[in-house]
Amino acid sequence: MEQALDKGLKATLAKFTAGLSPIALASVYSDWALHLATAPGKRLQLVEKAGKKTWRLANYAASCALTPDTGETCIEPLPQDRRFRGESWQH
């Protein structure tokens, strides 16, 4: 009974962590968070970038609300990014 409970818990946990060790994930996250916490310049850069992208998305949403049939895209993918070249993405 105990082994089945342990197996069930580990199987459920593996679904959430893509099979990676939760301890390893916590360690990597802690390392990233510590580096970010000690880099105020990087934090400022990320906040500025988020602000610019939020403003850009808000402008696009307002434009779509005012003129819904323009067909203009919000963001043009980079030339080497082939993920969005499919016909269904264009519609």
pLDDT digits (tens, 9 = 90+) for 17-66: 888 888 899 999 999 999 999 999 999 999 999 999 999 999 999 988 88
Identify whether the C-beta of residue 68 lies closer than 8 Å to the C-beta of residue 86: no
Give the residue among 50, 81, 47, 75 at the shortest CA–CA distance from 61: 75
What's the average model confidence in pLDDT over 5-13? 87
Identify whether the C-beta of residue 77 lies closer than 8 Å to the C-beta of residue 83: yes
Give the pLDDT confidence score for residue 91 in this predicted structure.
67
Give the pLDDT confidence score for residue 81 in this predicted structure.
87
> Cα(28)–Cα(26) distance, rounded to whole angstroms?
6
Identify whether the C-beta of residue 65 lies closer than 8 Å to the C-beta of residue 79: no
What's the average model confidence in pLDDT over 10-19? 85
